[in-house]
A and B are shown apart, each in its own frame.
Chain A
Amino acid sequence: MCVDRRKFLQLAGLTALGVAAQPIRLLGQEDSLPADTSLIGREEHPLTAKRWAMAIDLRKCLKDEGCNDCVVACNKTHNIPQFGNRKDEVKWIWKEHFESAFVDQENDFVEETVKHSNLPLFCNHCDNPPCVRVCPTQATWKREEDGIVMMDWHRCIGCRYCMAACPYGSRSFNWRNPRPFIEKINPDFPTRMRGVVEKCTFCQKRLSEGLLPACVVACKEKAMIFGDLEDPESDVRKLLQERFSIRRKPVLGTQPEIYYLV
């Protein structure tokens, strides 16, 4: 609990204060992290955008059906527990059948490779997020500067209203204490306690350190293209202009920021 609060302060400090937070980080971290000067150096150049978004190139992603690199990388980075049962499951990114991912497509004759595919799913970081609308404590909110839908694990009361409101099943609840179920704790990222909701944060902490999201880096096919949607020169923006893309349940008006290139 104590360790978590300290780490959270570091996290909040980093994002809010940027370089100014550096002393806090150094003070609080002596016991958990070796002084990695290269890392600290990068924090002076955090990755920023007006509207973070991701395009997933299914042509590349589906090359290796069994590949789970993005999921494994995320689990390691974010201390995701592995309970081994669906009931207690916590997941930020996971792979799902096309017909479940795009449940509203209702197309029996969709292209064979796509039809039988497994695609990576995670938080859509909606422009109009229903989870944020329902949260009674603003423990989840959309960050104004770059559109990331954030989560404060120290404010969350665990009512799970956001989970009822998310049309994508992207949120997980800590039904049990997750710590004993984390394979190898990454000291650079907070663990959570039982009774709070969590989800993908677009690797907001890594971005503040000048690093791309863990899943993007882990993808050997470079199928995940991450960038600023408001920048006309960004890779993601150019790709979306060139290729046809679909989004999950666009009819709900949530404006998901994950685009699947088919």
Chain B
Amino acid sequence: MIEKALHGDKRYWTWVTFLILVMGVGVLAYLKQFNEGLGVTGMSRDVTWGLYIAQFTFMVGVAASAVMVVLPYYLHNFKEFGRITILGEFLAIASVIMCMTFIFVDMGQPFRIVNVFIYATPHSMMFWDTIALGGYLVLNILISRVTLDAERKSIAPPGWIKPFIILSIPWAISIHTVTAFLYAGLAARPFWMTAILAPRFLASAFASGPALLILVCLLIRRLTGFDAGEKAINKLAVIVTYAMSINVFFVLMEVFTAVYSSMPEHTSHFEYLFFGLNGKNALVPWMWASEILAALTLILLLNPKTRRRTNTLAVACVAVFASIWIDKGMGMVVTGFIPNPLGQVMEYTPTFIEILITLGVYAMGILIVTGLYKVALSVKKTQHPEAWKRSVGTDLEQVEA
């Protein structure tokens, strides 16, 4: 079935070639980092985690968000998600692989990664994160493979797969909960040590992930003519609306607790984020941009008219994704280290090499998604021609041959 990813038109192969080139640049940048050490990044003795771990955290959210299509479809029998469930699962697979790669490129001694298994340490949250992510990857590969295979043969999926699908729902919640526990259990970092971190991670995940899925569906419709269905898109938009509202609510609760209690070790991090501390303010414009985008999304999403119109919905989804990416992918991790445990403000700026490696990992993830979606759409093209009502695309034509 996977060989379907090897049939495509010129446009498809141009895109694949481009992604492989970006990956190649990322690999070269990584070789430099591998040879010289993590000193080529912007990380320091004070800010010991940076872009890689932040992207890892953000992508765990995207991976977990597959549950937002799986749950309504399998648990509530919401048939309209039938066309896109596989897209959500494939997105999760690519995201988890990206997460693992981000962890790998962040390690000082990457070839010692086996030590995590040889000396398995249940009192470390990193051990549980490894299990959660690995298990989630296996579950999604198994489920998507079996269900897509059944779809290709026009038969119902075998009964034995159902328990695995049900299991994947709490498992998705667990991957982001355990990722939050990596941070939330550290007395040394008051910025992260908040009970709402896991709920907040989940809320932002269930906003950013489905927002990305909507954008991907709109893009696929334009490129291939495959229509996810108006009802499905609208339902996803409602999910994004709820999740984003809850996310903003959680952020405000965090700010209230920190600001009203006025404990310096809690307020100082928020002060750094939004106003700067000791004259250091690299993240301030970004964080305000994130908050303005969040406000904009709520206006566009809470209003049913703008939420249902494709153009405004697309703008809202881009804004949701950007707002949460800044918050999680830039602010959340780094600010835990600023100020440091001695109250000193040492800032962090990613280096060019670091950004190239990050782009390389993203290119790899997008390449995986591209290939997997190609497979899924090829199957759907033969099995559900009705989904191609608009039929503007041509790049899948030769697959049927």
Contacts and interface: CB of A to CB of B under 8 A. Distances in A.
A103 B342 CA distance: 6
B279 interface: no
A96 B346 CA distance: 15
Contacts of A169: 45-46, 340-342
A8 interface: no
Contacts of A254: 187
A110 to B, nearest CB: 15
Contact of B187 (A101, A175, A253): A253
Interface in A225-262: 252-254
A26 interface: no
Nearest to A135: B124
Interface string B187-219: 111000000000000000000000000000000
Interface string B93-134: 000000000010011111011011011010111110010000
A157 B108 contact: yes
Contacts of A195: 37-38, 107-109
Interface residues on A, range: 35 or more
Contacts of B113: 157
Contacts of A167: 187-188, 341
A163 interface: yes
A134 B186 contact: yes
A175 B348 CA distance: 15
Interface residues on B, range: 35 or more
A176 B39 contact: yes
A155 B112 contact: yes
B333 to A, nearest CB: 9
A136 B188 contact: no
Contact of B342 (A90, A96, A106, A157): A96
Given A165-B188, A166-B341, A157 B112 contact: yes
Given A88-B39, A174-B108, A175-B43, A164 B188 contact: yes
Contacts of A100: 342-344
Interface in B301-341: 336-337, 340-341
B108 A139 contact: no
B12 interface: no
B39 A175 contact: yes
Given A86-B45, A172-B45, A194 B188 contact: no
Contact of A134 (B39, B41, B124): B124
A164 B49 contact: yes
B36 interface: yes
A130 B186 contact: yes
Interface string A77-118: 000000000111110000010011101101000000000000
Contact of A157 (B37, B116, B265, B337): B116
Nearest to B38: A175
Given A164-B189, A164-B336, A167-B188, A137 B116 contact: yes
A156 interface: yes
B285 interface: no
A161 B342 contact: no
B266 to A, nearest CB: 12
Contacts of A137: 112, 115-116, 118-119, 121
Q: By CB atoms of chain A within 10 A, which of B116, B119, B125, B336 has the most?
A: B119
Given A89-B45, A164-B186, A135 B121 contact: yes
Nearest to B122: A136
Contacts of A89: 44-45
Interface string A106-149: 10000000000000000000000010011111110000000000
A230 B37 CA distance: 42
Interface in B343-358: 343-344, 346
Nearest to B337: A164
Nearest to A161: B126
Given A158-B107, A167-B341, A106 B264 contact: yes
B14 interface: no
A168 interface: yes
Nearest to B44: A87
A136 B121 contact: yes
A139 B107 CA distance: 14
B48 interface: yes
Given A87-B45, A195-B37, A253-B187, A158 B109 contact: yes
A96 B39 CA distance: 24
A104 B341 CA distance: 10
A39 B41 CA distance: 43
Q: By CB atoms of chain B within 10 A, which of A86, A87, A176 has the most?
A: A87
A163 B48 contact: yes
A155 B121 CA distance: 13
A164 B188 CA distance: 7
Given A155-B119, A173-B38, A194-B108, A101 B342 contact: yes
17 contacts: A88-B45, A100-B344, A134-B124, A134-B186, A136-B115, A157-B112, A158-B109, A158-B110, A159-B126, A164-B337, A165-B186, A167-B187, A168-B188, A169-B46, A169-B341, A173-B108, A195-B108
Given A88-B45, A195-B107, A253-B187, 20 more contacts: A88-B44, A99-B343, A103-B342, A103-B343, A133-B124, A134-B125, A137-B112, A137-B121, A139-B119, A155-B119, A157-B109, A157-B110, A157-B113, A159-B106, A164-B48, A166-B188, A169-B340, A175-B39, A177-B36, A194-B108
Interface of A: 86-90, 96, 99-101, 103-104, 106, 130, 133-139, 155-161, 163-169, 172-177, 194-197, 252-254
- Top 3 nearest A-B pairs by Cβ distance? A158-B108, A195-B108, A175-B39
Interface of B: 36-39, 41, 43-46, 48-49, 103, 106-110, 112-113, 115-116, 118-119, 121, 123-127, 130, 182, 185-189, 264-265, 336-337, 340-344, 346
